[in-house]
Amino acid sequence: MPLTARYGLCNISDAVPPSKEDGRQGLAPEVSDLKDERPWESVNQPSRDKGVLQHMLRIQILGLALVSALMLSALAAGSASAAELHQWLLVHDLSGGGQVHLLLAAPIRVHTEGLLLLEDSTPGTKVHCHGFGAGTVGPHGLDLTESITLELLGTKKTISCTFDKVGLCKSGTEPVAEAVHLPWHTQLLLRGTQVRDLILAHGGGTPGYAVTCTNILGGKTTDECLEAPSKPASTLMKNEIGSGVLGTFNTESPAANCSQAGGAEGTGKVAGTVLTKNPSSTLLLETSFGP
């Protein structure tokens, strides 16, 4: 039976909570349970020894209770984190109707096309850039951006842009932009009701971009903008039926720190979209909230 395939992501919402058994099972017995079992007592021991040992037992029980509480807290935190994760999902459409959903067992190749507006609010420079990316998605919610170039599957890393605002750059010149510290690791997460793709470092340094222009004195000025480590950039992920998955830099995408602003926080802003799709014309990328 012929199949067509789409890729997407699903949420992990099946974290199993701890079983609700008797809370005392596996813990040390309470002090009151030991009134008839006191192996440390003998007819020759003074009563003060009994008090010391009982006090020590109470401390031990309190310690075990604290450890148990910490373990339950860790389990609860783990369950919450798991509930936020999403996975890329392989969706087969059957020609007779219906679907088969499979998780990706290995990364698959993808291409991206981006139309972005890069801004540094301090010098007041804004540039429009159009570029292409290559990388992988999967397994699970992992993605990898390997390269960003001027042309699809090209080798030129500097991307020709146009000015929206020149700022301290010279009018009539052509600015260029380049992604820095590639490759980038990305992770799909559910934040509130939004599926977002977080952009994270992959061992080569903090993700970001650099814009170079001819300044008003005729020299070259490069403005490097890097994401704040505590506030990684992210895109809102949305299905584009028949096209792929559209990632949008919106107002909830944290701003970057730019060198021309002296590293001041939040001056580098990105707006625009990045469309991700599979190289094969028979495969589509799609996000899904589960099979």
Domain locations in the chain? Answer: 31-84, 101-285
If you search the block for the tokens 């540094």, which residue do you land on? Answer: 120
DSSP assignment of 122-168: TTTEEEEEEEEEEEEE-STTEEEEEEEESSTT-----EEEEEEE-TT
**What pLDDT, on a 0 to 100 scale, did the predictor assign at position 20?**
40
**What pLDDT, on a 0 to 100 scale, did the predictor assign at position 71?**
46
Q: How confident is the model at residue 50 (pLDDT cuts 50, 70, 90)?
A: low
Please provide the average confidence, as pLDDT, over all residues in the chain: 75
Distance (Å, whole) CA 7 – CA 248: 19
**How far is residue 223 from each of residues 12, 160, 175, 262, measured CA to CA in Å?**
40, 15, 11, 10
> What backbone torsions phi and psi does residue 54 show, to the nearest 5 degrees?
-65, -40
Amino acid at 187: Q
> What's the mean pLDDT in 128-138?
95
pTM for the structure as a whole: 0.69
Q: Do the Cβ atoms of 254 and 233 come closer than 8 Å?
A: yes
Number of Cβ within 10 Å of residue 92's Cβ equals 13
HSE-up of 238 (CA within 13 Å, CB side)?
Answer: 12
Q: Is the pLDDT of residue 61 over 60?
A: no
> What's the mean pLDDT in 176-180?
98
**What pLDDT, on a 0 to 100 scale, did the predictor assign at position 49?**
57
Q: Is the pLDDT of residue 230 over 80?
A: yes
SS3 label, residue 229:
coil
- Any residues with CB less than 8 A from the CB of 165 and at least 6 apart, and which? 119, 124, 125, 126
Residue 127's nearest CA partner among 210, 48, 187, 59 is 210
**How far is residue 252 from each of residues 55, 265, 270, measured CA to CA in Å?**
55, 15, 11
Q: Which residues pair with 46 in a beta bridge?
A: none
Please indicate whether residue 48 or residue 187 has the higher confidence score (pLDDT). Answer: 187
Q: Is the pLDDT of residue 207 over 90?
A: yes
Please indicate whether residue 190 or residue 69 has the higher confidence score (pLDDT). Answer: 190
Distance (Å, whole) CA 133 – CA 109: 11
Q: How confident is the model at residue 277 (pLDDT cuts 50, 70, 90)?
A: confident
If you search the block for the tokens 């970001």, which residue do you land on? Answer: 208
**What pLDDT, on a 0 to 100 scale, did the predictor assign at position 79?**
36
> What's the mean pLDDT in 220-242?
89
Q: How confident is the model at residue 59 (pLDDT cuts 50, 70, 90)?
A: low
> What's the mean pLDDT in 209-236?
94
